[in-house]
Amino acid sequence: MLPAPGTRPSRLAPAVCAGALLVLAACRQARPLPAPPLAPPFAQTPLHAVVTGAGALLTPPPQPVSRAAGRGPDADLLDEGWQGRTVTASDPAGSVTAVIEQQSVVRGHVLERDQVYRLQAGRWSLALELTQALSVDGGESGARVRPVDLLGDGHELLVFVFPEPAGAGGASDRAVDVVDGKGLVVVHRELYFGGVRRAPEGGLETWSLVPGPGAKVFRHEVDRAVSGPWLAEVSDLVPGSAVPGAGERF
């Protein structure tokens, strides 16, 4: 993993700069970074083990948050002074809208808010959130999200992919959270310089680097749900050449 970039000087007034840096420091301390997995031999998820959202990066807010609805997701949910976008997914449980927005705080650094809202009774209710600090000058990038019909049943889920703090070329994702129409994380996978895609036959397919000497080895898993909980239906170790290219991953 690349070393964390240093803090660059700011042209903001000292008081404003100090306050912003305190906010950035607080977010970094709270930012849930997964510890690298053990070197080989590496314990994979047992076949047919139940997979859940335990340990998800997106978590419910500490207290209820709601907003008036009526103008559409972008107008209702993107705050003034922040830049971002919204995407919506629907399944039989309901519709959920993801918000990813960023605000520049100190030169070269931004705060990012990753949120999930549900529209109920004419109001948006915040279901999940994560705030993280990013050093854009240091090459850090924020979360990616898309609505995906993972299971091929015509029902979309929100798939959030979180990159490593200072990812280089190749697979460089650190976690994935899958959110259903109730605004719940149904699958969470910790990764280490890994990758994510929809499995060709349906399901969530992930790769995660197993640190160790010699050629690169990746933990490879496919999670699916068929009329029940999500299960690990594939769990094995594969060489780096088996990891698909960037154009095939989320």
pTM for the structure as a whole: 0.85
Domain count, the chain: 1
**102 inside domain:** yes
User: For strand 144-148 and strand 123-135, is the pairing parallel, antiparallel, or unpaired?
Assistant: unpaired
| Residues 74, 248 contacting (CB under 8 angstroms) | no
**6 inside domain:** no
Residue pLDDT tens, the chain, 250 long: 333 333 322 333 434 444 555 555 555 544 444 455 544 335 688 999 999 999 999 999 999 999 999 999 999 999 999 999 999 999 888 899 999 999 998 888 999 999 999 998 899 999 999 999 999 888 888 999 999 999 999 999 999 999 987 655 567 899 999 999 999 999 999 999 999 999 999 999 999 998 888 889 999 999 999 889 999 999 999 999 999 998 999 9
**8 inside domain:** no
**73 inside domain:** yes
- 161, 155, 199, 202: which is closest to 178 by C-alpha? 161
| Residues 206, 45 contacting (CB under 8 angstroms) | no
**85 inside domain:** yes
Could you tell me the CA-to-CA distances from 204 to 56, 97, 181, 197, 231 in Å, in that order?
15, 20, 17, 6, 10
Domain that includes residue 31, residue range: 14-248
**2 inside domain:** no
**205 inside domain:** yes
**242 inside domain:** yes
